[in-house]
Amino acid sequence: MPVEASPSRSATAQGRERALVVDDDDHVRVLVQRILATAFAAVDAAHNAAQGVAALQGQAYDVVVTDLTMPGASGLTVVREARIRAPEAAVLVITGFADQDDEAQIQQLGAELLRKPFGVGELLAAIARAQASARLSPAEG
């Protein structure tokens, strides 16, 4: 995976942290992974919620970025698993469509929401927000 150097190594730049990206869209997943690789020591990727859950069960993550709408189980399954396995992880849900129910559940689970489409700056800022809120109030497992 080529690493895209990011000029703004802001609040997301944490030398030894590990991130997980879950998205069924090949382009979005590859690009988010590339961006995160500039800020995190290791970035794993999963194509769907089941793979994402399996990754969370086998590895501890500091940051989890997941799509909401995917074939099979939704991204909320990944968020719930992250809350059980890694209550202090920063969790960001990225989605092209979220209704009020989805928004309420994402908020309730202590995750941040970022609507597609977004650019590099917005993604990094949203991850920083997720990290800040995870530090302030780690969700209960």
Partner 1 sequence: MATAKVFEEITLALEDVAEVLTAVARGDFAVRAPRSFRGDSIDVLAFLVNSTAEEVSDLVEQLENERTELRQARDQLVMAAKLAALGELAAGVAHELNQPLTAIQMLADMLLRRPERKLSECEGDLQMLSEAARRMARIVDGVRTFGRPGQLRRVPTQPAAPLMAAIDLLAGTLSREGVTLEVDIEHDTPGIEADPDQLNQVFVNLLTNARDALRSLSSGSPRRVQVCLWSTPSSVAVSVEDSGLGIDPLDASRIFDPFFTTKGVGEGTGLGLSVSHGIVSNHGGSLSYQPSKDGGARFVVVLPLRPDGVAR
Residue ranges binding partner 1 (CB under 8 A): 4-7, 24-25, 27-28, 30-32, 34-35, 69-74, 94-97, 115-121, 123
Nearer to partner 1, 30 or 109 (CB): 30
Q: Which residues contact 86 (CB under 8 A, 6 or more apart)?
A: 56, 60, 61, 62, 64
| Angle, CA 66 vertex, CA 132 and CA 20 arms, to 5° | 75
Q: Is 5 or 136 the residue whose CB approaches partner 1 more closely?
A: 5
Closest to partner 1 by CB, 113 vs 138, is 113
Task: Write down the residue that tokens 């927000």 correspond to.
Answer: 129
Query: Least separation, in Å, of the C-beta of 25 and partner 1?
Result: 5
> Is residue 90 within 8 Å of 40, Cβ to Cβ?
no
Structure tokens at 45: 């990727």
Q: Considering the complex, what minimum distance in angstroms separates the CB of residue 120 from partner 1? A: 4
Residue 4 C-beta: closest distance to partner 1, Å = 6
> Closest separation between CB of residue 29 and partner 1, Å?
10
**Reduced DSSP (H G I as helix, E B as strand, rest coil) percent helix, strand, coil of the chain, to 5:** 40, 20, 35
If the CB atoms of residues 67 and 134 are measured against partner 1, the closer one turns out to be 67
- The torsion of the CA quartet 14, 17, 18, 22, rounded to 10 degrees, works out to -40
